[in-house]
């Protein structure tokens, strides 16, 4: 027990969520294999390594903060998904993280890419992804985005509103193309995840509600447009979901609609896309299902439901984002300051400030997300200290890891590694407080390669063009002591 961490007791308040007892883990050097990517390890001297490269060397070469991608781990995850859903389609949800190198690697492994803006579309195209393997999403795709997707020959467009059906039909007629489309169905499932990332309950912006008949009406409307080729139904119930129960209800309801479409229109749609959402392990106790099990369960339920409805089993697609890229990246930060803060009851928490923060990982502030952090440049004999890893931004909610244990001797210059930052960290990064975005560096077989460069201050200034004409205002006050 640290000199500053007292044993748990009622007078200590609740420094941990849910009033958990304050008990330090026995060994801070252990790497939970569910959380860290396959090629993260510790060298003989205790330093953290990624695919053989020591954290210190990565930091020296690329600076900090830096996102480090374990490329072999990513490739393996992609392969596992493709194998699990053989006979169907895996569209990687590019919103989780997208750059040309990753798009190319995933396309090589046989994944399609789900894009939802012109920006994501442009990256996938620049990476050389076969347009037929692209699916376009979004609840408010602009006319221009729809046009670009049609012009590129995107393989699927997922329709999200009645207005969009009309827009797309008109554009398709004008361009003389007949896009394959899916109707996004809101199946009315409350996924057990954070409210901001649950997407299939009724009162939210995505898709057509099944319960109110909107989904059936959308299907009828699409079928009225010979310019559009309706190939299937789509459902996405949310993100970071561990149990398959929600997906099963979704599959059941989507197949139910397929049967009704057959009954009222005399057609059997050949595809269903059950979206993404498979959870990953961020902290001890998180227990995600392997893709093979998720696939087997989904297939089983779709086959059973189709059997009951007398439908041919449609081709199954999924759109994992987090489960593909999330665990394959970590973030390395350098510690700048350590501040012991006394809590109620005399317990002390070390506020360990790092050189990034909510600009490179907003998920803790936004979703109260949990992360795992370890000391990366060395191991330590010092006792575990209740800690909080915070960033350098000017607000108290700028927290990277809310509740963690780090060695009590963590000091300026030490490196910390935060696990599983591949999904929705770089993708949601900002320039808050005018901090340039960190680089993304891939490591394979002891070699590192920059995939995305660190932003520079010059890039941040590039759009700042100043006043065209100096605004009229009071004369600047004379500076005391300065002539003229
Ligand atoms: N398909 C659709 C239509 C989606 O909207 C999403 C995610 C996915 C697939 C991929 O979901 P995944 O497999 O990554 O869970 N920023 C939040 C997550 C937002 C997810 C948005 N849509 C976070 O950081 O947790």
Identify the CATH number of the domain in which residue 371 sits: 2.40.37.10
Does residue 191 sit within a domain? yes
Alpha carbons 465 and 226: distance in angstroms, whole number: 48
Q: Which residues are catalytic?
A: 394
pLDDT tens digit sequence for 27-67 = 999 999 999 999 999 999 999 999 999 999 999 999 999 99
Quick one: what percent of the chain has pLDDT higher than 70?
Answer: 93
Confidence at residue 483, expressed as pLDDT on a 0 to 100 scale: 55
Residues 112 and 178 in one domain: yes
Residue-level pLDDT at 200: 58
| Cα 240 to middle of ligand 1, angstroms | 8
pLDDT band for position 21 (50/70/90)?
A: confident
Task: State the pLDDT confidence band at 201, using cuts at 50, 70 and 90.
Answer: low
Q: Does 366 share its domain with 429? A: yes
- Checking if the pLDDT of 352 tops 80, the result is yes
Check which CATH number belongs to the domain holding 274 and give it.
Answer: 3.20.20.10
Point out the ligand 1 atom lying closest to the alpha carbon of residue 158: 3
**What angle do helix axes 118-126 and 100-108 make, rounded to 10 degrees?**
60
Give the number of the atom of ligand 1 that is nearest the alpha carbon of residue 369.
Answer: 25
Look-up of token digits 């199946």? 187
Q: Compute, in angstroms, the gap from residue 366 CA to the centroid of ligand 1.
A: 14
The residue nearest atom 19 of ligand 1, judged by CA position, is 197
- Summarize pLDDT for 406-463 with one digit per residue, the tens: 999 999 999 999 999 999 999 999 999 999 999 999 999 999 999 999 999 999 999 9
235 token code pair: 């459902």
Task: Decide if 471 is inside a domain.
Answer: no
Asked if the structure places residue 193 within a domain, the reply is: yes
For residue 194, what pLDDT is reported? 53
Which pLDDT score, from 0 to 100, does residue 107 have?
A: 98
Q: How far is the CA of 276 from the centre of ligand 1 (A)?
A: 6
- Tell whether 348 and 222 lie within a shared domain: no
- pLDDT at position 415: 98
465 found inside a domain? no
The pLDDT value given to residue 481: 66
- Does the residue 266 lie in any domain? yes
Model confidence at 131: pLDDT above 60: yes
| Amino acid 199: pLDDT | 58
Residue 228 belongs to some domain of the structure: yes
Compute the distance from residue 148 Cα to the ligand 1 centre, in Å.
23
Residue 244 pLDDT > 80 = yes
pLDDT of 80: 98
Mean pLDDT computed over 372-392: 97
Indicate the number of domains in the chain: 2
Domain boundary at 325, 359, 385, which? 325
Q: What is the residue-averaged pLDDT of the chain?
A: 93
Based on the domain organization, do 269 and 370 belong to the same domain?
A: no
Whether residue 11 is predicted with pLDDT greater than 70 in this model: the reply is: no
Q: Are residues 310 and 214 in the same domain?
A: yes
Q: Is residue 476 part of a domain?
A: no
Residues 158, 205 share a domain: yes
Digit-coded pLDDT (tens) for 264-317:
999 999 999 999 999 999 999 999 999 999 999 999 999 999 999 999 999 999
Ligand 1, residue 324: give the atom nearest the CA.
Answer: 13
Q: Ligand 1: which of 89, 94, 95 to mutate, most ligand atoms within 8 Å of CB?
A: 95
Whose CA is closest to atom 6 on ligand 1? Answer: 276
Residue 347 has phi, psi (to 5 degrees) of: -65, 145
CA of 133 to the centre of ligand 1 (A): 19
* Residue 5 predicted with pLDDT over 70: no
Q: Are residues 115 and 251 in the same domain?
A: yes
On whether both 321 and 334 belong to a single domain, the answer is no
Q: Kindly give the number of the ligand 1 atom that is closest to the alpha carbon of 326.
A: 14
Q: Are residues 280 and 373 in the same domain?
A: no
Pocket of ligand 1 from Cβ distances under 6 Å: 93, 95-96, 114, 137, 197, 236, 239-240, 275-278, 319-323, 363, 367, 423-424
Phi–psi pair at 412, nearest 5 degrees:
-50, 135
Q: What was the pLDDT predicted at 10?
A: 41
On whether both 206 and 345 belong to a single domain, the answer is no
Same domain, yes or no: 280 and 371: no
User: Quick check: is 4 in a domain?
Assistant: no
Q: Look at residue 388 in the predicted model and tell me its pLDDT.
A: 98
Range of the domain at 360: 21-69+327-454
Give the mutation target among 239, 272, 328 for probing the ligand 1 site: most ligand atoms within 8 A of CB: 239
d(CA 303, CA 241): 22
Q: Does the pLDDT of residue 482 top 70, yes or no? A: no
- Same domain? For 197 and 87 the reply is yes
């Amino acid at each position: 027990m640290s000199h500053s961490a007292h044993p748990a007791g009622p007078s200590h308040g609740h420094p941990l969520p849910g009033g958990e007892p304050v008990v330090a883990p026995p060994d801070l050097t252990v790497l939970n294999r569910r959380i860290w990517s396959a090629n993260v390890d510790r060298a003989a001297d205790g330093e953290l390594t990624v695919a053989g490269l020591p954290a210190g060397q990565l930091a020296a070469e690329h600076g900090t903060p830096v996102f480090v991608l374990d490329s072999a781990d990513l490739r393996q995850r992609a392969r596992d998904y493709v194998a699990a859903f053989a006979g169907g389609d895996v569209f990687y949800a590019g919103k989780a993280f997208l750059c040309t190198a990753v798009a190319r690697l995933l396309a090589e492994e046989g994944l399609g890419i789900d894009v939802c803006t012109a920006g994501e579309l442009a990256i996938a195209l620049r990476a050389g992804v076969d347009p037929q393997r692209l699916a376009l999403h979004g609840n408010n795709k602009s006319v221009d985005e729809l046009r670009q997707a049609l012009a590129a020959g995107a393989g699927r467009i997922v329709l999200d509103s009645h207005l969009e059906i009309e827009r797309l039909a008109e554009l398709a007629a004008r361009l003389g193309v007949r896009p394959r489309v899916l109707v996004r169905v809101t199946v009315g499932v409350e996924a057990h995840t954070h409210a901001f990332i649950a997407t299939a309950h009724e009162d939210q912006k995505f898709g057509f509600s099944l319960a109110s008949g909107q989904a059936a009406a959308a299907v009828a409307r699409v079928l009225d447009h010979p310019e559009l080729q309706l190939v299937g139904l789509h459902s996405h119930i949310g993100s970071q979901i561990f149990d398959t129960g929600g997906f099963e209800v979704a599959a059941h309801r989507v197949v139910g609609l397929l049967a009704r479409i057959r009954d009222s229109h005399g057609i059997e749609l050949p595809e269903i896309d059950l979206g993404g959402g498979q959870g990953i392990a961020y902290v001890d106790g998180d227990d995600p299902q392997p893709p093979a099990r998720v696939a087997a369960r989904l297939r089983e339920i779709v086959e059973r439901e189709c059997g009951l409805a007398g439908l041919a089993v449609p081709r199954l697609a999924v759109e994992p984002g987090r489960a593909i890229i999330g665990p394959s990246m970590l973030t390395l930060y350098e510690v700048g300051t350590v501040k012991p803060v006394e809590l109620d009851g005399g317990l002390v928490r070390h506020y360990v400030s790092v050189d990034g923060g909510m600009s490179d990982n907003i998920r803790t502030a936004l979703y109260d997300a949990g992360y795992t952090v370890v000391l990366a440049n060395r191991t330590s004999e010092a006792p575990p200290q209740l800690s909080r890893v915070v960033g350098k931004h000017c607000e108290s909610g700028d927290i990277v890891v809310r509740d963690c244990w780090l060695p009590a001797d963590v000091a300026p210059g030490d490196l910390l590694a935060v696990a599983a930052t591949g999904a929705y960290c770089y993708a949601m990064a900002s320039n808050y407080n005018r901090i340039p975005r960190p680089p993304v560096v891939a490591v394979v077989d002891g070699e590192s390669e920059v995939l995305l460069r660190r932003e520079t201050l010059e890039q941040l200034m590039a759009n700042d063009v100043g006043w065209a004409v100096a605004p009229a205002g009071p004369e600047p006050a004379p500076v005391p002591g300065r002539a003229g």
